[in-house]
Structure 1
């Protein structure tokens, strides 16, 4: 195993980056990579979300590794510094909002099981370093296994303004979706009414007003016989909207077992919020933020000649 040069200087200084040479599981790999640490210490680093495989946080001890994958370990000293956020980076910040790029595997907000290792909690700690009275407010959410651009407000008023005017303020929400199969129609439009079952599963209805109206547009970026990479634009922002609509089309999102996926070739959900553009809640200025499409999405959907 050999440490590999990393492009980002900060990440190079604060992280250990390895390339997987042979099939193994994550915990044994880490134990070998950090042979100077105790087993419990390595387990703690894994549990705290300090380990990234390719482009997602991974905490499972038995996660299978394949040759060519990249494993990044955030050092303990870096993890506890106030300037280091685990599983996310700040794209923009002012007195009213914070925009982040969230990695897959990081919760947006707390759940019954996890209270601290979330984007919201980390940002709350981050702003309170400057002033203990500072707070962070959730404007919208990304699923745990969805990566990409996400915005938070710094006051209750800004949060309310953004949510009340969301439809008019947001000018573009574009996702990259890696789906199963070769999508034949190069551009498409899906419209349905979404309802939630008793088991919290969202599903489509074609009966007008039978649920919340959801509209999704998509365009094929690249594809092969196994996978397609789509640009997906949301005209409405309903729960699990893209995931349900891709299942409706017969091309479920990769890794989305809940909505029909049969594969998990990239070890995560194939959904990434790549563009968020909106009018600033205070100044009215049009802002646009981008997060690069994960390399694994591009690699899987690349056209390969027979």
Structure 2
């Protein structure tokens, strides 16, 4: 576990926050510092701040996080479920238990390793550990992930995500029967003050988060919902569904103790719509539910009869 604990001196006042921290913590690049700020891990006077914040004398800067190993991701041959590809972007249907990019404890076997072998060239905006990665999905979440092959595409896709014009739809099987047909969860998400490895709905050092959902199918003790992300906070769907009392089935971090043998959380990114960076054409890509997810739904349907 790595800690940053700094107090700004007068001679450092008015320096950009990301530059100040990277200058003081020599082994952390500015991009790494920016990532910590975006994730709400690096705090200024116990508040979330931006990379371009000008530090002031006496500011207290603190972070506690798992250190990221600085290494270069190496190409690895692997079978990738490619759902769309051209010279600018590639959309992958990620399987369960695959980490998106290398980090401490996961230096090989990640999606990035496989992409480097397949694509040869990827956007370099996010550095050597996250080439082409515009957004992420959790290790145990299955489904669609869009990757940029060049910097122009990366900038375009990032801007679309920030302006909330990328449409991301997920299927989730959740505990309990949701009575209403649809709803919106508008609740800010930040680090859990009691457990820094978890996120939570909180007013402390949080960011706005909105998830729209509609009921697809009801079962005796479960509900299949489709969720649309308006924002993209860490663990957003998992935290929001727990918040309304309907946690995702199989989620070891936010749900009940094991109630079903499902091999992991039943959350799948099934549809992704974006504007192509070069042609301006609207592209929609879909990925069917994994077989194990479908099998569980079939068993629940049989129990209904």
Mapped to 2, the partners of 1:119 and 1:98 lie a distance apart of 12
CA distance in 2, matches of 1:219, 1:240: 19
Within 1, Cα distance between the matches of 2:218 and 2:301?
6
* Equivalent in the alignment of 1:112: 104
Q: Normalising by the residue count of structure 1, what TM-score does the alignment of the two structures yield?
A: 0.65
Distance 1:156 1:261, change over 3 A: farther
* Aligned position for 1:100: 92
Look up the match of 2:119. Answer: 127
Q: How do 1:74-223 and structure 2 match up within 5 A?
A: 85-86=78-79, 88-128=80-120, 136-168=131-163, 170-197=165-192, 199-205=196-202, 207=203, 211-223=206-218
Unaligned 5+ residue runs, structure 2? 1-75, 122-127
Corresponding residue for residue 298 of structure 2: 299
The match for 1:279 is 275
Moved more, 189-198 or 230-239: 189-198
List aligned pairs for 1:225-264, cutoff 5 A. 225-262=220-257, 263-264=259-260
Post-superposition offset of 1:149: 0.9
Q: 1:171 to 1:137 in 2, by over 3 A?
A: closer
Root mean square deviation of aligned Cα: 2.4
For structure 1, the residue ranges without an aligned partner over 5 or more in a row are: 1-81, 130-134
User: In the superposition, relative to structure 1, how do residues 303 and 264 fare at CA in structure 2: closer, same or farther (>3 Å)?
Assistant: closer
Structure 1 distance, partners of 2:244, 2:299, is: 20
The alpha-carbon deviation at position 304 of structure 1 amounts to 3.4
Give the aligned length: 217
The Cα of 1:298 is off from its aligned counterpart by 2.5
Tell me, what secondary structure is at the counterpart of 2:209? strand
Cα contact 2:148–2:154 (8 A) shared by 1: yes
Rounded Cα–Cα distance in structure 2 between residues aligned with 1:165 and 1:96:
15
Quick one: structure 1 residues 169 and 97, their matched pair in 2 at CA, closer, same or farther if it must change by over 3 Å?
Answer: farther
**Residue 268 (structure 1) shift:** 1.4
Aligned partner of residue 188 in structure 2, secondary structure:
strand
More strand by share: 1
Q: SS in structure 2 opposite 1:138? A: coil
Distance 1:125 1:302, change over 3 A: same
Structure 1 residues 137 and 305: CA distance shift in structure 2, 3 A: closer
Specify whether residues 300 and 107 from structure 1 end up closer, same or farther in structure 2 by C-alpha distance, changes over 3 A only: farther
